[in-house]
Structure 1
Amino acid sequence: MSSSPTDDTKPRSDGFEVAAEAGHTFTLDEKAKVADYKADAVAAENAEHNMTVLEAVRAYPMASFWAFVMSFTIIMESYDVFLIGNFVALPAFIRQYGEYNAEKNVTVIVPHWQSALQVSGQLGALIGVFVAGPVTSRIGYRWATITGLMLLNAFIFTFYFAESMPVIFLAQLLEGVPWGIFIANAPAYCSEIVPIKLRAPVTQMLQMFWAVGSIIVGAVTYVYNQVEHERAYKIPIALQWMFPTPLAILMFIAPESPWWLVRKGRLEEAAKSVERLGRRSRLNSGETVAMMRRVVELEKAEGEPSFWELFRGTDTYRTLIVCGAYASQNLTGNLIANQAVYFFEQAGVSTNTAFALGLITSALQMVFVMLSWILTTYFGRRSIYLWGTFGNVVLLVALGIAGSIGDPKATSASLAQASLGLIISVLFTFGAAPASWVIIGETSSIRLRPLTTGIGRASYYVVEIPCIFLGSYMLNPTGGNLGGKCGYVWAGTGLFCLIVAFFYLPEMKGRSYREIDILFRRKVPARKWKKTVVDAEDDE
């Protein structure tokens, strides 16, 4: 390697030209240091590529545990989303806050309040995800998450003591802010603390814990759906206090992401973090930190990351993929899953049976998420996402047909719609949903990851909020009263997501973050990623 200070303009394989284009000028000492640690970086990356899944678990046992802890924060958003979804079908809640409709001879939560309650938490979370990116980039994943947990503890009081719809709306809005922090940080942190072979299972745990939250809600509301006292909805609200404090204690003793520490130049702390995540006898923390330095140098730019960078150069494509993966969760069956109990009621089954089916749906979702670990780990992200979305589109069309033919009051028609609703909700957590979490965790650059996951989740809420109003209107008997015919609408949006993903979603299975950076910089078409080879020595 030449030591001439003018060599930054020549083609290289050591990453200098890339960094120089990003606005960083290397000194001779920096060039020497890069040359010194590149061999270690290559060795660490090759070691990760050569690990099997079981070897990765043995090498990084604590990484899996801390990813489990961080993923647990998702339970709180899931719990509350499903809680509100169940409250609109809970008899005691309806009697307290519903309005009598003489024309239909039924007491219901009116559509505008039904939609407002379900959208309030998402509005707060939309604020939270924009807060999460800059805060996490500055203070780290641990302290940002701990702050969110303590805020949530306080905001639950507002929800518990609320006595009117406007106050419940405000309480949900406040609770949503820490949810936004959790949902922005969890996929990024989980994907950063584990080796390549474990990125799929640990990020898919987020979908599993989403199912766990719905199981807890399903069990509690099933028990209380026949209770006429206010405790039928007060006790489920109070149960939210189970989570924040224990999780805050665990996050306090958790290791910070070594990637975040390397970005901050705290290399010794990064090495210690790697050693806490893995077994010293099975890994070389110095080599692992060198691998991280190599990627960070490749992405190097001056100053703190900013939202504007998300829409510059190849980062625009990466940001759009993350936004699309998040937003599409609302368009391929998720809203039927989130409103499962209410959907079952509107399909014609009894209230008690609807709550029982909701609980069964949640339990099956958890099982199928765990099965999806195998599929996504061995068959890739793109394939599972495409086939899972295609399967849901077909079933949504079938749901629409079931809602269109026969007597809607007939038992057979009700059971057909309820069964299809259950299958769609479960299949969603077997294919598209868990695959999208892996895509979200892998796609962004290391430098911009907290901001990218934040803006991606924001796109989720921007799409979800109008979809909630639409979904509530379509199902509500005083609104569209479509029942199973809503399947046609979601099949159309799902088909759009499928077509876009086919052309623009690349396969990132088995790729290191260096390789992902390089493939995006080379502008390799999405459908050619799987067959494109990136040499271990390449840095551009």
Structure 2
Amino acid sequence: MASPTEKNVDGDVPTQAPLGALKEEGAASRDNLSLGDMIQNARTATENEHSMTLLQGLKLYPKAIAWSVLISTCIVMEGYDISLVNNFYAFPQFNQKYGVPSIDADGNVTYQVPAAWQAGLSNGAVVGEIIGLLVNGWVSERYGYRYTVIACLTLLIAFTTIFFTAQTVVHLQVAEILCGIPWGVFQTLTITYASEVCPVALRGYLTTYINFCWGVGQIIGIGVIMGHLSRTDEWAYRIPYALQWMWPAPLIVGIYFAPESPWWLVRTGKLEQAKRSLLRLTSLNRETDFDADDTIAMMVHTTAFEKKITRGASYLDCFKGVDRRRTEIVCMCWAIQNLSGNSFSNYSTYFLQQAGLSNDKAYSFAMGQYAINCVGVFGAWALITFGIGRRTLYLYGLAGLFAMLLILGFLGLAEDRNAASLATGSIMLVWALCYQLTVGTVCYSLVAEISTRRLQIKTVVLGRILYNVVGIICGVLTPYMLNPTAWNWGNYAGFFWAGSCFLCFVYTYFRVPEPTGRTFAELDLLFEKKISARKFAETEVDVFAENIEQDVVKDYQDQIVVSHRETKV
């Protein structure tokens, strides 16, 4: 039954009755909420989430979708810059400014940014991101998601100035590191926000949408570079850097008005604010049995259960007890993105150049690859809609990537280099599609669902740090693999990444579970009972049969009373 509604003091935002109000005539007030009442309300909300269809979720949570999409757009900026720095290595004007001269096989003078500086620039952002990730694990839990994002966007406005005015490669290195700090915050905060503002029916879509934003940034970046290929002055690379200023200001304005995550508000004891935030995320035209009080009760129940099994909420607690397994899986899911050959594909333009393609063809193939990165997300949505699980997509995706990396390696044996280079470009497009349909997109959903709510930000932070550490290693190795003045492996690099991808497949089979269709509390219980990854999907659990100590729930009863009294004041 829906709760009674009333208008706020402004008369323009309909809300449900406060937590202290009676849910029904004769019912106990929320101020005197018993354990049995809370569990029953939470059970009702859980059943509603399980029965909610995709269409019902879209109708009930359109505002949550819009706000999540807005905050996820921050990732576009990171995708844009990473696209610039990796593709500038094949950009003549950029190389003339920041590279060193060399003589090619025909005796012509060419400019190349040395492999050491290529690795340094690519990894500079990663170093900054690691710093930002560690900061985010503390700041966003303390000050909330909205204010953390706004502060980071403000910093980006200042740091972009260094890119625009850089006179040496050292200045670029400083800019990459500094800009990497807010990008690191965006990498995890956007995922956490998306997973916490939507129900189970929408969780897979909103978390994986973040990968679409990454692809959009890459497309814009490569498109801007192609649009300036004809320029021969310094503005050919300065304008692309200056365009980074177009994002932060409008995002700051929009995010200022966004509702805070209700899960974060519950964790901090602000239950009245959590309810108001939840109502701002839902539609007034409800066609389900949605009840904000029941949903808040479910959040309280889940938080109480997690407090029972996870006493602390520090980085160290991520490696204690059952959370050690969850942290390991989240970390490896992130690392697999790089270990399956993604870092190799990030250098696609440079790689295709070295494989024999002209500049315009190399950039055209790269543009096609980045377009596939976006389209692949929608393909992944279709697969999720048809009921294919996250674990299944990961396994089959890694198998397909392994096969194509082997083909890339064998193309290095072809004598006709022109035909081999075109075949290489084509295979890389197919590889990109397979990657985005599976590993590249589904990872965002897995890491958001597998981590516990109390430790989610910190767990995802640790996973993303490992992703970046692996990215640094791959970022050092890849330029040497491809650079003609270094190892010059060319297509043979495909064999190296094929071996790495096979090991990822083996790990996924034995360790990565299936979280599809589970509430956060159910996932907590499955991990608590140490269910095998291969049996997650078929194991039945009842989170409401578990004993939650009365003193734990008493903490939240007290928070309800305090929150309600503060609202009255």
TM-score w.r.t. the length of structure 1 is 0.92
Question: Structure 1 residue 510: deviation in Å?
Answer: 0.1
Q: Does residue 449 of structure 2 align to residue 442 of structure 1?
A: yes
Query: Of 426, 432, 452, which aligns to 1:425?
Result: 432
Between the aligned partners of 1:447 and 1:48, the Cα distance in structure 2 is: 20
Larger mean Cα displacement after TM superposition, 328-337 or 526-535: 328-337
Q: Say whether the 8 Å CA contact 2:372–2:429 is kept in structure 1.
A: no
Query: CA 1:509–1:303 in 2, change beyond 3 Å: closer, same or farther?
Result: closer
Contact 2:275 2:292 in 1 (8 A): yes
Matching residue within 344, 349, 359 for 1:351: 359
Confirm or deny: 8 A CA contact 1:336 1:421 kept in the other structure: no
TM-superposed CA distance for 1:536, in Å, is 5.6
- Report the counterpart of residue 168 of structure 2 in structure 1: 164
Q: Could you list the runs of 5+ residues in structure 2 that have no partner in the other structure? A: 1-29, 548-569
Distance (Å, rounded) in 2 between the aligned partners of 1:252 and 1:32: 34
The residue that corresponds to 1:91 in the other structure is 92
Hey, what's the Cα distance between the residues in 2 that align with 1:95 and 1:189? Answer: 42
Instruction: State whether structure 2 residue 338 is matched by structure 1 residue 330.
Output: yes
Q: Out of 351, 361, 365, which is 2:373 matched to?
A: 365
* Alignment deviations for residues 105-139 of structure 1 (CA, whole Å, 9 cap, x no partner): 53211100111111100100010000000111111
Q: What pairs up with 1:197-276 in 2 under 5 angstroms?
A: 197-276=201-280
Structure 2 counterpart of 1:508: 515
What residue number does 1:196 align with?
A: 200
- Kindly report which structure 2 residues correspond to 1:110-509, keeping only aligned pairs within 5 A, or say none: 110-282=114-286, 283-300=290-307, 305-377=313-385, 378-407=387-416, 410-509=417-516
Q: Distance in 2 between matches of 1:539 and 1:185?
A: 31
Q: After the TM superposition, which of the residue ranges 189-198 and 367-376 deviates more from structure 2?
A: 367-376
Match of 2:71 in 1: 70
Find the aligned partners of 2:413 and 2:230 in 1 and give their Cα distance. Answer: 32
Does the aligned pair in 2 maintain the 1:397–1:488 contact within 8 Å? yes
Q: How far has the Cα of 1:337 moved from its partner?
A: 2.8
2:339–2:500: 8 Å Cα contact kept in structure 1?
Answer: yes
In structure 1, how many angstroms separate the alpha carbons of the residues matched to 2:191 and 2:373?
A: 19
State how far apart, in whole Å, the 1-side matches of 2:442 and 2:239 are. 34
Looking at structure 2, the residues matched to 70 and 337 of structure 1 have their Cα atoms a distance apart, in angstroms, of 27
AA paired with 1:211? G
| Alignment partners' CA distance in 2, 1:83 and 1:497 | 29
SS at match of 1:388: helix
1:270 maps to a residue whose letter is A
Distance 1:221 1:341 in 2: 12
Instruction: Give the Cα–Cα distance (whole angstroms) in 2 for the partners of residues 46 and 64 of structure 1.
Output: 22
With over 3 angstroms needed to count, the CA separation of the structure-2 counterparts of 1:118 and 1:100, relative to structure 1, is same
Cα distance in 2 for partners of 1:303, 1:35 equals: 23
> Distance in 2 between the 1:171 and 1:507 partners?
40
Could you report, residue by residue, the CA deviation over 1:157-210 in whole angstroms, capped at 9, with x for unpaired residues? 111111001111001100000001100211111011100011111011111011
Contact 2:92 2:111 in 1 (8 A): no
Amino acid at match of 2:538: K
Match of 2:23 in 1: none
Determine the structure 1 residue equivalent to 2:34: 33
Confirm or deny: 8 A CA contact 1:506 1:526 kept in the other structure: yes
Point out the more displaced range, 61-70 or 517-526.
Answer: 61-70
CA offset digits 1:13-44 (Å, max 9, x no partner): xxxxxxxxxxxxxxxx9996322211111111
Q: Is the 8 A contact 1:347 1:418 kept in 2?
A: no
CA RMSD of aligned residues (A): 1.6
Q: Residues 457 and 31 (structure 1 numbering): CA distance in 2 closer, same or farther, change over 3 Å?
A: farther
- Indicate the SS of the match to 1:100: strand
For 2:74 and 2:207, how far apart are their aligned partners in 1? 13
**Same amino acid, percent of matched pairs:** 38
* Matched-pair contact (CA < 8 Å) for 2:208–2:445: yes
Counterparts of 1:524 and 1:44, CA distance in 2:
25
Superposed counterparts of 1:515-526, under 5 Å: 515-526=522-533
Q: What is the distance in 2 between the residues matched to 1:36 and 1:449?
A: 27
For 1:522 and 1:446, locate their aligned partners in 2 and report how far apart those are by CA, in whole Å: 17
**Alpha-carbon distance in structure 1 between the residues aligned to 2:545 and 2:210:** 33
Mapped to 2, the partners of 1:130 and 1:171 lie a distance apart of: 19
Amino acid at match of 2:488: N
2:521/2:543 contact within 8 Å kept = no
Q: Helix, strand or coil: the match of 2:233?
A: coil
CA–CA separation in structure 1 for the residues paired with 2:545 and 2:143 = 32
Q: 1:30 to 1:381 in 2, by over 3 A?
A: farther
Query: What's the TM-score, normalizing by structure 2?
Result: 0.87
- Structure 1 distance, partners of 2:32, 2:356, is 70
Question: In structure 2, the residue corresponding to 1:467 is in which secondary structure?
Answer: helix
CA contact 1:208–1:369 (8 Å) conserved in 2: yes
Q: Residue 325 and residue 30 in structure 1: after superposition, are their counterparts in 2 closer, same or farther (change >3 A)?
A: farther
Structure 2 CA distance for aligned equivalents of residues 485 and 384 of structure 1: 27
1:14 counterpart residue number = none
Deviation of 1:305 (Å): 2.0
